[in-house]
Each structure stands twice: as structure tokens, then as C-alpha cells.
Amino acid sequence: MPIRIPDASIRQILFEHEVLRALLCRLHDAAARCTQGKLAVQDLRDSARTLDATLEAHVRNEEKVLAPFLEAQGQAARLRQLRDAHRRVIDLLHELRSREPRRSASGSGKLVRRLLAALDSEDVELRAARSRSPDCVKTVY
């Protein structure tokens, strides 16, 4: 039986990726200011907290949408990889949030690079699954 991923779901995930990129930029900027000795500790905390909440909501939504597709395609291993990658990034973000601000700021670069690369990779996969017509449903056999 074919599995259908509505284009609206794919567009929503791609939109959430753009929101996450903006939040990552904000975190990166606040971290850079902190490491330069500027007073940006509250910005750093706010950026990390906002990213954390948004990322957790995004992960729940993305996994809910993609899990049936991946499972039906016999890609349970890919689903496990996706979930493991999500968990590692969230755990890293939680760890950074618990650090002293300067240490948190210095570790934020790795998180930002890692998340941006993951978002780019996921975007490529999602765009490959997307149908041409915005109102159509992509059918995968």
C-alpha cells in the first residue's frame, strides 16, 4: 500500500527548519558577543531557551510525520538514526544550557554547525520526496 506524505506536511517541516536556522543565528550571535566579553548573557540564555523549546516541538512533529513513511518503506534503521540524532542534539543543547555562560557560549559553535548541517541534509531528503504540484500528495511505493 502506498504511503502518502502531504505536501503541506513537508512544507511545514521545511518552514520549521527555516525558523530553527533563524534561532541558530540568534544563538550564534549571542554566543559570539559573550565570548568577546560583551554583556550578552541574558541574550544567550534566552536564545538557548527559545531554541530548545522550538527544537523539541519540531522534533515531535517531524518524527510524527516521517515515522509512518520510513517504517512503511522498510527504513526502520533510518528512523532510529533520525531519532538518535535528534536526541543527541537536544541533549547537547540541554548540556550547554546548564553550563556557565562563557563555557556555554564557547560550546555553542559546535551545536550551531552540527544543527545547520543536519537541517541541510534533512531538507535535501524532504525536497526529494516532495511532489511538483503544491496541492498534490506525494505517493511513494
13/44 Cα distance (integer angstroms): 25
Residue 104 above 50 pLDDT? yes
The predicted model scores a pTM of 0.84
pLDDT (tens digit, 9 = 90+) per residue, 18-30?
999 999 999 999 9
**If you average pLDDT over residues 122-141, what whole number do you get?**
60
Exposure string (b/e) for 87-105, b if CB count within 10 Å is 16 or more? Answer: eebeebbeebeeeebeebb
Amino acid 58: pLDDT:
96
Which domains, ranges and CATH numbers included, belong to the chain?
7-127 (1.20.120)
